[in-house]
Amino acid sequence: MARYRNIVVLTGAGISAESGVATFRDAGGLWEQHRIEDVATPDAFQRDPDLVQGFYNQRRAQLFTVDPNPAHIALGKLEQLLDGTVTVVTQNVDNLHERGGSKNIIHMHGELSKVRCRHCSIVVEWLEDCTQETRCPNCSDAPALRPHIVWFGEMPFDMERIESLLYACDLFVSVGTSGNVYPAAGFVSAVRSTGVAHTIEINLEPSEGASYFAETRHGKAGDLVPALVDELLE
Ligand code: NAD
Ligand code: ZN
């Protein structure tokens, strides 16, 4: 394999599936009879904040019951051992990349383990339940805390930084993402427009965007990511 010095790895729900975190499709797109799109929007929070806080409290609590799998751990090792730069751009809101040893991570859809104050905008680490009565540790205004999550209809975080990484990388790898959630689904086209980077998709099955990748590897992330990392470090 060629020597790559500047690697961007885009990850989606599929990389955490073997850790026991359900993907959209596994979950049937539903949570307690609610469509996920209906509990993960600014409108839903406006309408029924207790319901939305409850949805995220459950998912936050689940972080304590799951562990990083060999795919997360291999990406941590790649970052540590590659003579170059590795950036993980994740659509996931879990903290399994951190716990797998990665440090250079962009959480474009936010993080379950943080909340944000709608009054003073502070972002704080939050591992407990958050309710409409919980006070902001900074400004004490209540009810002002919301999950630090990018909801449907909101702008993903750090898009400018991500864009410049995509144009500068020499290898782009997409792992466990269905390729139908934008803007992440368009990243491979941005990378290919430079004409210099290699692109690899790793997914259980061909994703919606599989044909945009120069190389595709289909199977479990827990097997295929460690194998790729070994090739890259050879
Ligand atoms: P998705 O659920 O739409 O697609 C997941 C993809 O992963 C599918 O194409 C599936 O075939 C593949 N997959 C499943 N198991 C796999 C495995 N073991 N190895 C490799 N691939 C596997 O997820 P998405 O594309 O990330 O988009 C859904 C949105 O919901 C994103 O914003 C996503 O991050 C969010 N979400 C996040 C989590 C999480 O934080 N862990 C969980 C569910 C959904
Ligand atoms: Zn505040």
What pLDDT digit, counting tens, does each position of 74-85 carry?
A: 999 999 999 999
Residue-wise pLDDT for 172-215, tens only, equals 999 999 988 889 999 999 999 999 999 999 999 999 999 999 99
Decide if 92 contacts 75 (C-beta within 8 A).
no
Edge-to-edge strand list for the sheet holding 123-125: 123-125, 110-117, 145-149
Closest ligand 1 atom to residue 25 Cα is 2
How far apart are alpha carbons 174 and 133 in whole angstroms? 40
Q: Which of 24, 99, 180, 224 to mutate to test the pocket of ligand 1 (most atoms within 8 A of CB)?
A: 24
3-state DSSP assignment of residue 45: helix
Asked if residues 130 and 147 have their Cβ atoms less than 8 Å apart, the reply is: yes
pLDDT digits (tens, 9 = 90+) for 219-229: 999 999 999 99
The model carries a pTM of: 0.96
Q: Across the beta sheet with 85-90, what order do the strands follow? A: 105-107, 85-90, 6-11, 171-175, 198-203, 215-218
pLDDT at 223: 98
Alpha-carbon torsion 210, 218, 107, 78, what sign? negative
Ligand 2 midpoint to CA 125 (Å)? 13
From the CA of 137, how far away is ligand 1's center (Å)? 33
Q: Which residues are found with C-beta within 5 Å of the ion, ligand 2? A: 117, 119-120, 136, 138-139
Total Cβ atoms within 10 A of residue 25: 12
**CA 3, CA 22: separation in Å to the nearest integer?**
35
Helix pair angle (221-233, 70-81), 10° resolution? 20
With CA atoms as reference, report the closest residue to 59 among 24, 10, 102, 106: 24
pLDDT for position 157: 98
Structure tokens at 118: 């709608």
Percent of the chain with pLDDT over 90: 88
Residue from 153, 133, 141 nearest 44 by CA:
153
